[in-house]
Every structure is written in C-alpha cells, then in structure tokens.
Structure 1
C-alpha cells in the first residue's frame, strides 16, 4: 500500500508532487527524521541557512519570522546569534496564543542557550506568548517547503496553515508588498515551474536557499493582498479562533 500525506485530498492537484518528493527524499537518504506529511529536514540544511543569511535583505532585517520545523532550526539559531528578534508560530496556529517572540537579549539575561531556544521545545518554553496583532511589522519571513520552483512557486505539506498565517499578516499589515519571503530546501526539492500549482492565496517566494546555491526568484507571480476567505476550510476556522474575529473585522 502506497503512503499518503495526512492532508491528501485537500489539494489533490498538489498531492502527487508532495508524495513524490517525500518518497524521493527518503529513498535518496537526503531526508533527516520524519518526512511524510512534514516539512522535511535535510542533509545540508546548515549550509542552506548560511547561504540565506548572506543576502542583504536578511542582514538588514531586525524582525524575523521563521516556521517551527526542524529544517529551519539553523535559520532560527542564526537569527538569535545575530541579535535579531525571532517570531515563531505555534504549529497549526491552534493554541490560545498563536505566536511566540524569542528575544536574544532576554535569553542571555536568563542564561538560556540559543541552541536550546532555537528548538521547537526550547522556544515554546522560553518564548513570550503573543497574539497575531502583537507581532510587529516583519522585515523577513521564512516558510517551510516540500517543493519549489526557481521562479518562486511553492508547495507546502498540505495543511494550508502557512498560507493562512501569511494571509493574516497581510490583512494586519504585518507583512507588506516588499517583505521578502524565503525558504530553505535540499536541491532535489527543486522542480519545474509547471509542476507547482499556484493558487490565488499562495505567496510566491523571493529567495530559495539550498545546500548548493542561493536562488533569487524575481517572481512575477502576484502577491495576495490578504486572506482568500472562500479558500478557508471549516476545520481551519475551528482550529484558529482568530480567523473568525478577523473575518468580522474585514466585513
């Protein structure tokens, strides 16, 4: 029996690609840890993080949003060592507090190592719990990816939470039209542009860093202005209470 992702069926046109990439990463040995239905960690993630950190956009940023997955651990660690303020979402955004702020100076004052604070368990324990509206304007955003194209197309693990999160921040003005959106992946996760289905609510990538290269996409894909309410699933409204509040505001 072939494997299936946890969210198979939500975006059928993307499922085949996700499943192919997860299978390839496992078979090739490039995956590290759990792969299926996850943003996969990969061999060379530390080098990809280093490449991304060489961009002027990263260097000039002081407020950084990074997804919580192991693949982006090195990015979170670099942000803390460089004195940036790190913002990380609660997985699936389902807690009463959907975000955490992790401040390097606060960690140092408490004697908490950056290596611990950059982990999922560490930032949960030592981060400050905040609401969406408490996240300040972001200078740089990092998202997790399963497959991407060189022109900025992206496919995630299928749950849709990254797109909802970005949509919320666009509605609130936390992410603006010029805010860079980046990802780190293994080079084998790069696919042809026509293999990525970009929907109206999908945000194109500006930077893609791999263990082999840094790609600046110069994407021509339009950026959504906010949340595409028709695309929100009933279980997502239920899991993320803030969505109902934001929908009332927008109406």
Structure 2
C-alpha cells in the first residue's frame, strides 16, 4: 500500500515536502452497526416534546470517565511491556515515554495535562495548523478527516470555516463510528463548539460503513514520527490505524490519499538546540545507527538564555 505523507512539524517551520513511504498492513475488524448516538449504558439525546435535546453535561462526564479509564489501562500495559526484554513492542513504549517526559519537563505542552497516554497538545499547535491551512492540498480538499484530539482542534476549525466537510471519529470509536459536519448546516456561531468532541456528537451526522464519501486529506496526530520512513507512533491504542482500515474498506480513501502528521525536521535543528535536549540527541543517534546514515543538521544559532523555572 503506497501512502503519500506530509510531515506536520510542531517544533520547526513547515515546508511542502512529500515523502513516499511503503506500508504493509493487514487489518481486520468487525463492522460497526449504524450509529445510534448512544453507548451501552447511556443515552445522550433525550426527548423534549417533539424534538431531541443533546445532554452535553452527561456526554462530557462520560467521555472524561472513559478517557481516564483508558489512560489507566494504557499506563498499566506500558509498564508491563516497556520493561520487557523480549516483547517486540517494548521499544515503542520507551520512545513514547521519552517524548511525553520531555514535553512535561520542558513545559512545551498545553492542556490537557499531563500529556502521558495522549496525543500531546503541543505549544505551537495553532501555528502549525495555520501552516497546514496554507497548503494547496488543504485548500483544494473538499472533505478532511481529522482526529478528535486537542492539538488538532484548530485544524477542525479551519476545515469547517473554510466550507469543507469535516469527518471526525467518535473518541476511541466507543459511542459510534464517524460523524460528518458541514458549516452550512450548523446553527449561526456554532463552529467553535462543533470543533469539540461534544460538539461533533451534537451537530454531526453519523455515518455507517455503507456511506458513500470521498476523503481528500487525512490529518492524524502522533507522539513520534520517523523522519526517514514516515512511520508513526500514536498513543498506543491503534485506533488511527483501524479508522484508516475502515475508510479503505468503505472506498473513502485509496493509495493516493494524502496523510498529514507530526515529525521533526532535522535540517532545521541547530547544533545548539540539539545540545540542549538530550532526548533529541538520543533519538537522532538511534535513527543514525539503525539506518547507517548521518541525519542532516541545521545552521548554528545563538539561543536565548534558558528560563529558570520555579520549583
């Protein structure tokens, strides 16, 4: 399966570079039933006379409860697998932890925090989104699939405010499948709300596997990305890959569908900046050892003094 990928850099300036990557995967899953906007034990829409009213408070409370439950479960899995000498997934958890620990230590993360076991909401996410919005590929897209995490909220806003269709999955696919949102059918002034998880459930039109839809661009969050191959690490649950597989099954995407994600541009990283961040040095060394090639380095720069943090 050939996939076109654009790296979406949080730490360094964005550039229009497309990298061809080869990715072989075989996904199997059980098709979801038609989305009824309900979970196994909770209904978010209640009847009020002849109309339905969305219970945002109940939805958000349940979402936060399930998020906390999922993160606790992932933390337990990570602890068990990362310390193993034989588990083939151990190295993935070690890299994730390094990235999450670095972002917390360097205070380059925004709420929700801590960033562990999340697609981290990095400082500069809005600026990165604006750069994405300037791409011809984004401007030409009629339908954009964006994950529901916090750092991609601005991308969801740009999609809707630009008159495009927004395809967003329900968080962890636990209350349904995908929802489609369009600004033309939103109430006046509701775009900001529609960019949230609760807003997507409230205003979105749920779809099933039989929906006929063409997705032009996929924006996917990451914890870490290999700058050479484009291989990514998410937060460890694999839902982005399942969503991709389901969209392929539906015929909504194909080999030519562009994917935008996060990565590091080594040729923009100065020796001084690299010297400040140990984990980046370790990652650079690891990649060079694995590939047998030296990664590029950016031009030298004079860095401002490091701010002292209150303890």
Provide TM-score, normalisation by structure 1. Answer: 0.69
* CA deviation after TM superposition for structure 1 residue 49, in Å: 0.3
Cα deviation, residue 12, structure 1: 2.1
Q: 1:171 Cα shift?
A: 2.5
Q: Distance in 2 between matches of 1:6 and 1:170?
A: 32
Q: Is 1:68 paired with 2:129? A: no
Q: In 2, distance between residues paired with 1:175 and 1:193? A: 36
Compute the displacement of 1:119 (Å): 1.4
Moved more, 147-156 or 129-138: 129-138
How far apart are 1:75 and its partner, in Å? 0.3
Contact 1:5 1:19 in 2 (8 A): no
Which secondary structure state, in structure 2, belongs to the residue aligned with residue 5 of structure 1?
Answer: helix
- Structure of larger gyration radius: 2
Task: Kindly provide the CA deviation profile for residues 162-204 of structure 1, in whole angstroms up to 9, marking residues without a partner as x.
Answer: 1111112122221110100112468799854965xxxxxxxxx
The 3-state SS of whatever aligns with 1:138 is coil
Correspondence for 1:87 among 140, 163, 167: 167
The TM-score with structure 2 as length reference comes to: 0.56
**Secondary structure of 2:75 counterpart:** coil
Q: Once superposed, which parts of structure 1, at least 4 consecutive aligned residues long, lie more than 6 Å away?
A: 185-190
8 Å CA contact retained: 1:7, 1:37: no
C-alpha displacement of 1:133: 3.1
Q: Secondary structure of the residue that 1:132 maps to in structure 2?
A: coil
In 2 relative to 1, CA 90–149 (structure 1 residues): closer, same or farther, beyond 3 Å? Answer: same
The runs of 5 or more residues in structure 1 that have no matched partner are 196-251
1:100 alignment partner, SS class: strand
What RMSD over aligned residues (CA atoms) do the two structures have, in Å? 2.5
Kindly indicate whether the alpha-carbon contact (under 8 Å) linking 2:126 and 2:154 is maintained by their aligned counterparts in 1. Answer: yes
> How do residues 93-132 of structure 1 correspond to structure 2 at under 5 angstroms?
93-95=173-175, 97-107=176-186, 110-132=187-209
Secondary structure at the counterpart of residue 148 of structure 2: coil
Partners of 1:6 and 1:41 in 2: CA distance: 22
